[in-house]
Chain A
Amino acid sequence: MIKIENVHKHFNENYVLRGVNLEVKDGETLTIIGGSGSGKTVLLRHIVGLFLAERGTVEVDGINLGAVREHELHEVQKKIGFLFQDGALFDSLSVGENVAFGLRYMNLSEQVIHKKVSECLMHVGLAGIESVRPSELSGGMKKRVALARAIARDPKYMLYDEPTTGLDPIFSDVINELILDLQKNLKMTSIVVTHDLKSVYKVSNRIAMLLEGKIIETGTPDEIKNSVNPSVQQFINGSSKGPIKLKIKEYQE
């Protein structure tokens, strides 16, 4: 289980997280929604230990990430797969070497690693491209290779940062199907950060909305659709009128 309690984070004058509380139960897919710059990715990075909370705690399976030594943090990170928004593939390595990267530190034989790499690439529909360089791939293919790399170590938790951003609707649906497939077949606990509502309703068991550094509402997709909170309604209806104000004036100054 992942438990986030009263997490705060700021960058210079910008207070991004102002007391986030959230629980993610084993086996569920939770989607975090919220406007651009609302701190969704920052929150996700706290869960994988890329950021440490200034106040509050982030616990993964009962381990407080802010209170462990670096090597213990690496052990926790091994339980978590992370899909970066732009893939973050290592451009000096081939696709096969990228997918095999995390497996090389698990004392596995080359034969086992090779088999696992093929399986993972097949899982994301890209079998047989082990020798291709990331620079030769399209955006959608990079994302799928990054997904193959993230699931290669059979993580217990899978975190997706904007998995469908920048993809066409068909590729977006392919990624959504992959998320559902991983949840059903590999029983992974997933946290998805996105503002693509089609994707949200397709993959989520639960949805949490982040606004002004706090989780303002959590619920099933139906509960969120029928929420009485005007901010939630404004966001899911995609309306510019409502309690959520864009800070256009501040940017103009």
Chain B
Amino acid sequence: MFNKTEEKIIELLNSLASSFILVYKTIISCFMKPFETNLVIYQMVGIGLRSLPVTILTSFSVGMVLALQAGYSAMYVFNEPLYVGTIVTFSIIKELGPVLTATVITGRVGAAITAELGTMKVTEQIDALYTLGTNPVKYLAVPRFLACITMIPILATIANIFGVVGGFVVSRYKLDIPSTVYWTDTLDFLKIDDFFHGFIKSVFFAAIIAFVAIYKGFGTKGGAEGVGKATTQAVVTTLVLILVIDYFLSALLVALRIG
């Protein structure tokens, strides 16, 4: 009845509609009783606390490499490492902290959510929830969504701190910049709006990670192969969405004079 292009368009529209329905149902279910507090806390520990070491390690390393690159580039141009603290801090707090944290969490948490929900789907565990009178969106999606949008911005804030400290370590011990100069460069130009610029972005990234992972998990078809495909699609889709939306979100926040 339809040709292949029309079928693809219908399929795309269907998946867009069902993803919006899932987002709507998840947000509405957050305010409906019973509140699954224990499940939310369990997910917060899994998503937040267990992601802390890898988040700290990556942000500290990125802060170090940023300071190194900024310092040597400045020396090449100005013959001395100027404004290293400023460059590191602005790059980390407004951009790299939220984006890098979201990237790391996508690989660690987003993939795990899709694989777990996908396995539950193909082994009929999600159907079993329905037959036991439980709403799977309320029981599975809401705790994961709430844990993501609370813990990922907190992780991004911690990443900001460790990124700036990483930059300080290289500035002080590799580039021989005095501590007071680094911290003066850091704090003199930084405003609270700059922090909110990154923080707001990380809330949006958290929502993207949660919704894509949950949507792909619930939509898994087939056996083990289906779970693998869904997990890969979730990670790739999330990363692309984060990087594309990052630009538009940054432009919007700048236009609104937030950072």
Contact = CB atoms under 8 A, between A and B. Distances in A.
A and B associate in one complex: yes
B125 A102 contact: no
A251 interface: no
B128 A80 contact: no
A90 B125 CA distance: 6
Contacts of A197: none
Contacts of A91: 123, 125
A90 B133 contact: no
Interface string A88-106: 1111000000000110010
B132 A49 contact: no
Interface residues of A, number: 25
Which of under 10, 10 to 19, 20 to 34, or 35 or more describes the interface residues of B? 10 to 19
Contacts, number: 53
A101 B132 contact: yes
Contacts of B120: 90
Contacts of A86: 123-124
A82 B131 contact: yes
A172 to B, nearest CB: 21
Contact of B131 (A48, A75, A85, A105): A48
B115 to A, nearest CB: 13
Contact of B124 (A88, A105, A153): A88
A58 to B, nearest CB: 15
A87 to B, nearest CB: 9
Contacts of B135: 70, 74
A149 B131 CA distance: 11
Interface string B119-148: 010011101101111110000000000000
Nearest to A81: B131
Interface of B: 34, 120, 123-125, 127-128, 130-135
Given A49-B130, A90-B125, A102-B132, 14 more contacts: A48-B130, A50-B130, A77-B133, A78-B133, A80-B131, A84-B128, A85-B124, A86-B124, A88-B128, A89-B125, A90-B128, A101-B132, A101-B134, A150-B131
23 contacts: A45-B127, A49-B130, A74-B130, A74-B133, A74-B135, A75-B133, A77-B130, A77-B131, A77-B133, A81-B131, A84-B128, A88-B127, A90-B120, A90-B125, A91-B123, A91-B125, A101-B132, A101-B134, A102-B132, A102-B134, A105-B34, A105-B132, A105-B133
